[in-house]
Amino acid sequence: MKLNFFGAAREVTGSCHLVETGDVRFLVDCGMFQGGREAAERNREKFPFDPVLIDFVLVTHAHIDHSGLLPKLVKAGYSGPIYATDATADLLTVMLLDSAHIQEEDARRRQRHGRKKVLPPIYTLEDAESCLEQVNRVHYDHKMSPNRSVECRFVDAGHILGSAIIEVWVTEGERVIKIVFSGDLGQPGRPILRDPTPVRHADVLVIESTYGDRMHKDLGPTLDEFVNAINDTRNGNVIIPAFAVGRTQEILYYLHHLTRQGRLHDLNIFVDSPMATAATEITRKHLALFDEEAKKLVEWRTTSSDTPRLHFVGSAQESMALNEVRSGVVIISASGMCTAGRIKHHLKHNLDDPNHTILITGFQAQGTLGRRLVDGAKQVRIFGEEIRVRARLLTLGGFSAHADQAALLQWLDGFEKPPAKTFVVHGEEQAALAFSREIAARGDWDVVVPTRGQQHAV
pLDDT for residue 247: 87
Question: What is the model's pLDDT at position 167?
Answer: 98
The type of residue at 231 is N
Report the C-alpha gap between 274 and 295 in whole angstroms. Answer: 24
Instruction: Report whether the peptide linkage leading into residue 400 is cis, meaning its omega lies within 30 degrees of zero.
Output: no
Contacts of 181 (CB under 8 A, 6+ apart): 17, 28, 58, 60, 165, 166, 168, 206
Q: What sign does the CA torsion over 407, 409, 412, 414 have?
A: negative
Contacts of 250 (CB under 8 A, 6+ apart): 190, 191, 192, 399, 401
What are the start-end ranges of the E strands in 162-265? Answer: 164-172, 175-181, 204-208, 238-241
For residue 126, give every residue at least 6 positions away whose Cβ sits within 8 Å of its Cβ, in sequence order, or none: none
pLDDT tens column, 256-277:
999 999 999 999 999 998 888 9
Helical segments of 270-350, H only: 274-285, 292-303, 316-322, 343-350
CA distance 191 to 254: 9
What integer pLDDT is reported at residue 4 of this predicted model? 98
Task: Report pTM.
Answer: 0.88
The pLDDT score that the predictor gives to residue 116 is 72
CA distance to 321, 413, 417, 422, 439, per residue, from 444 (Å): 59, 13, 9, 11, 9
Give the three-class secondary structure for 155: strand
DSSP 188: T
β-partners of residue 86 are none
Phi and psi, residue 380, nearest 5°: -135, 155
Q: Report how far residue 432's alpha carbon sits from residue 65's, in angstroms, rounded to the nearest whole number.
A: 17
What are the pLDDT digits (tens) for 372-412? 999 999 999 998 899 999 999 999 878 878 999 999 999 99
Pairwise CA distance, residues 330 & 239, whole Å: 6
**Whole-Å CA distances, 308 to 232, 267, 353, 380:** 18, 5, 25, 33
Answer for the pair 82, 136: CB distance below 8 angstroms, yes or no.
yes
Q: What is the number of other CB atoms lying within 10 angstroms of the CB of residue 120?
A: 10
C-beta of residue 67 within 8 angstroms of C-beta of residue 24: no
Q: What domains can be seen in the chain, in order of their start residue? A: 2-214+402-457 (3.60.15.10), 219-395 (3.40.50.10890)
pLDDT tens, per residue, the chain with 458 residues:
999 999 999 999 999 999 999 899 999 999 999 887 889 899 999 999 999 999 999 999 999 999 999 999 999 999 999 999 999 999 999 999 989 988 998 888 888 877 778 789 999 999 999 999 999 999 999 999 999 999 999 999 999 999 999 999 999 999 999 999 999 999 998 878 889 999 999 999 999 999 999 998 888 899 999 999 999 998 999 999 998 888 898 899 999 999 999 999 999 999 998 888 998 899 888 877 877 778 888 888 878 778 899 999 989 899 999 999 999 999 999 888 898 889 999 999 999 999 999 999 888 888 889 999 999 999 999 988 999 999 999 998 788 789 999 999 999 999 999 999 999 999 999 999 999 999 999 989 999 999 999 999 99
pLDDT digits (tens, 9 = 90+) for 69-113: 999 999 999 999 999 999 999 999 999 998 998 899 888 888 887
| Cα gap 216→408, rounded to integer Å | 12
Residue type, 181: F
Mean pLDDT, the chain, integer: 93
Q: How would DSSP label each residue in 343-409?
A: HHHHHHHHTT-TT-EEEE-S---TTSHHHHHHTT-SEEEETTEEEE--SEEEE-TT--SS-BHHHHH
